[in-house]
Amino acid sequence: MTETSKAASDPKTAAGPTTATAPRTVTPYPGPAARRIIDRLRAVEGAGPRTGGADAPLVVAGAHGAVIVDPDGNEFIDLAASFAAANVGHSHPDVVEAIRDQVGRMSHVSSASASEARVVFEEALVEVAPAGLDRVLLGLSGADANDTALKLARSFTGRREVIAFSGGYFGRSGGVIGLNGKAVHRATVGREAEANFLPYPYPYRWPMGPAQDAGVGALALVRHALEDPASGIGPVAAIVLEPVQGNGGIMVPPDGFLAGLRELCDRHGIVLVFDEIQSGFGRTGRLWAADRWGVVPDLMTVGKGIGGGMALSAVLGREAVMSHWPPGTHTSTFMGNAVNLAAGTAAIGVMRRDRLWERSERLGSGLLHSLRRDLADDPRVGEVRGLGLFIGIELVIDRVSRTPDPASAARVRRAAFERGVLLGVAGHTDNVLKICPPLTIDEHELDIAVGILIDTIKGAP
Ligand code: PLP
């Protein structure tokens, strides 16, 4: 029995679907029960979330392992890990048990008070962090953690400017929306850019042409920005990036890029911030994505999967950068929530015990190979790329023009959804199908879901 099917049949969590049946279509989507919830939601909720889009959103009634069930009994295989957050799987029994145990004792603890749940989580996080990142500050969301990292970098250096990259994503809060590559995120809510944007190395669409080395070129542009006194940029407090971009389209940096940034930051006294909120916690086949290149930042933000399904994030960092704020500088009412922290400790325990990053590496490299083989002849598949269970399929109108094809990506995603497979869409123009399942996904489930996906891509009009 695999880990996931064990979890699904565990009597403690048995209310959910079993992995043996997914995907399962009981009614065309949305069925009557889902429809009722969507209608009620749309009657009460403000605009802005994607649930208000043209397509009926998924209504989730239960979630276990990599399977989501809707209120009509339809079962879906979650190749998107619900925003790449269910790294240890939905409702992992260890996490559920830790939550039950903690909530019976206490949940809300103000951030001005200490608790054992808080110190245990922080110690567990430091134990799995890259060497040298041995201080923690807590948060509740990824945006929260990035906001804290940005404030730390600015107050530590006494500088204000930031370098970020095309395609980057850091969240939607006021503090970090200005770092996102997609300007539309700001335009719709009246915010301004907070960073100097440089191109992230994207070999498939490198502006100087495919023959040029994107990693070398991107690094040269950063060097120019920092070292030419007339570049218009500086003095720079922080360089902020995801070591492997997620929402930017699963962008893997060429070898040498992260090390080159490390060297430039050291030379210029700049705080290097890696956002490992999506790329970390086993996702790319290493515990942290940057481990693959042996590069350690000054600050690293974590979120999503780290909470095992609960709202939890953190900044990890070097002593010097993390220890210069006076007491009272960093607070938030629910930051020390003991239930979230207990869930996070349990999720880290599962990650370590089951060495899920190794599973991610093994399943992901097999998947990358089979996707490249099976889609080799499809002219609409421009590139298949990724690391571990973090894979992007870039769809184009044709392979010569490389014109992005977001309409195809939306169609494939919806067609796969209708056959019970959940996918993400990413990329500068939303033309990259994103595969990032729970790292605990049952291998048989993964095969079935990927078979449906390939079929859907090949059958797309
Ligand atoms: N950073 C990265 C790389 C992300 O992918 C996300 C969310 O998708 C965030 C930050 C923001 O996290 P949250 O939505 O929890 O604020």
pLDDT more than 90, % of the chain: 93
Ligand 1 centre to CA of 1 (Å) is: 33
In the predicted model, what is the mean pLDDT of residues 430-439?
A: 98
Ligand 1 atom closest to the CA of 245, numbered from 1:
3
Q: Which of 147, 176, 185, 278 to mutate to test the pocket of ligand 1 (most atoms within 8 A of CB)?
A: 278
Which atom, in ligand 1's list, is nearest to the CA of 173? 16
Of all protein residues, the one whose alpha carbon is nearest to atom 10 of ligand 1 is 170
List pocket residues of ligand 1, CB cut-off 6 Å: 83, 141-143, 146, 169-171, 242, 246-247, 275, 277-278, 303
Q: How far apart are CA 267 and CA 393, in angstroms?
A: 37
pLDDT per residue as tens digits for the range 98-139: 999 999 999 999 999 999 999 999 999 999 999 999 999 999
Q: Is the pLDDT of residue 360 over 50?
A: yes
226 in Cβ contact with 268 (< 8 Å)? yes
Closest ligand 1 atom to 146 CA: 10
Buried b (16+ CB within 10 A) or exposed e, 5-40: bebbebeebeebbebeebbeeeeebbbebbbebbee
Cα 420 to Cα 225: distance, rounded to the nearest angstrom: 47
pLDDT at 270 over 70: yes
Secondary structure letter of residue 416 according to DSSP: H
- Picking from 59, 130, 437, 417, the residue whose alpha carbon sits closest to that of residue 272 is 130
Q: How confident is the model over 322-342, as pLDDT tens digits?
A: 999 999 999 999 999 999 999
Distance 172 CA to ligand 1 centre (A): 8
Nearest residue (CA) to ligand 1, atom 13: 142
**Cα 305 from chain centre:** 8
Distance CA(203)–CA(215), nearest Å, equals: 8
pLDDT, mean over the chain: 94
Atom of ligand 1 nearest to the CA of 311: 15
pLDDT at position 1, please?
A: 32
Indicate the pLDDT class of residue 212, thresholds 50, 70 and 90. Answer: confident
* Nearest CA, atom 5, ligand 1: 278
The confidence band for 12, taking pLDDT boundaries of 50, 70 and 90, is very low
Query: What gap in Å lies between CA 396 and CA 379, rounded to an integer?
Result: 8
Q: Which residues contact 251 (CB under 8 A, 6 or more apart)?
A: 167, 200, 201, 202, 244, 245, 385, 392
With cut-offs at 50, 70 and 90, classify the pLDDT of residue 4: very low
pLDDT of residue 461: 67
**Lowest-confidence pick of 87-91, 152-156, 183-187:** 183-187
Q: How far is CA 411 from the centre of its chain?
A: 23
Percent over 70 (pLDDT), the chain: 95
